[in-house]
Structure 1
Amino acid sequence: MDRIFTLDEARSLIPTIMEEARELIAARADLAEIAYDRQQSGTSPLGGLAEIKGIEARIEEVLSRWTGAGIEVKGIAPVLIDFPAVLDGVSVRLCWIEGETSLGWYHRTELGFPGRRPLP
């Protein structure tokens, strides 16, 4: 069964999520830079295949921690996650996206990101 978060539970995880998201964002940028450099010149000062594999493993570790905790990862560029929840008897997703400093949005489960509203 999928985990259902209370608003307080989800909000208590946001500081850790933000810290881990910073790690993921840095790794994402390193991957982009390595790929670009290798395409342009065949090499990158950030490394080669071994470094790419290591960066990918770091990203996967963060994503696995989140999904293992019941958090739904919707994207990594930008980082977008949902916490399954129930508000007023309705299935919703408490929604956080890279750049936000708190958990302040939700959307009905079936509507997704376009149905995003501020939390009451």
Structure 2
Amino acid sequence: MDRIFTVDEARSLLPGLMEEAREVISARADLAEITADRQIRGISERGGLPELKAHEARIQDILSGWTERGIEVKGIAPVLIDFPAVLDGEDVRLCWIEGEPELGWYHRADLGFAGRRPLP
């Protein structure tokens, strides 16, 4: 059975997840810069293939850790995660996206991001 989070559980996890999200964001930016520089100039001050692989591995490690904990990863550009939950007997996802200071939104499981509403 998939993990079901309470709002309080998800909120208690968020500070650590936000710190890991900052690592994903930094690695994502480095990946983009190294890739663009290598395509345009053939080299990048940020590194080459070993650095690309290291950034990819770090991102994958973080995302795998989230999914192992029952968190649904919806995207990495921007970072978007959902926590499966039940509110008022309804299957929902508590939703956090990169840049939000706290967990304040949810949506029905069948609607996705477009159905986001503020948490009561």
Partner SS state of residue 96, structure 1 = strand
Q: Where in structure 1 are there 5+ consecutive unaligned residues?
A: none
Cross-structure match for 1:106: 106
Q: Show structure 1 runs of 4+ deviating over 2 A.
A: none
Cross-structure match for 1:2: 2
Partner SS state of residue 47, structure 2 = coil
Question: Displacement, 1:5?
Answer: 0.3
Question: Displacement, 1:113?
Answer: 0.3
- How many pairs are equivalent? 120
In structure 2, what is the Cα distance between the partners aligned to 1:51 and 1:7?
Answer: 38
In structure 2, what is the Cα distance between the partners aligned to 1:51 and 1:103?
Answer: 33
Cross-structure match for 2:81: 81
The TM-score, its normalising length taken from structure 1, stands at 0.99
Instruction: Give yes or no for the alignment of 1:14 onto 2:19.
Output: no
1:28-81 per-residue CA deviation (whole Å, 9 max, x = no partner) reads 000000011001100111111111101100000110110010000000000000
Instruction: Give the residue type in structure 2 aligned to 1:52.
Output: L
Pairwise CA RMSD: 0.4
Q: Aligned runs of 1:34-49 on 2, under 5 Å? A: 34-49=34-49
Q: Where in structure 2 are there 5+ consecutive unaligned residues?
A: none
In structure 2, what is the Cα distance between the partners aligned to 1:7 and 1:46?
Answer: 40
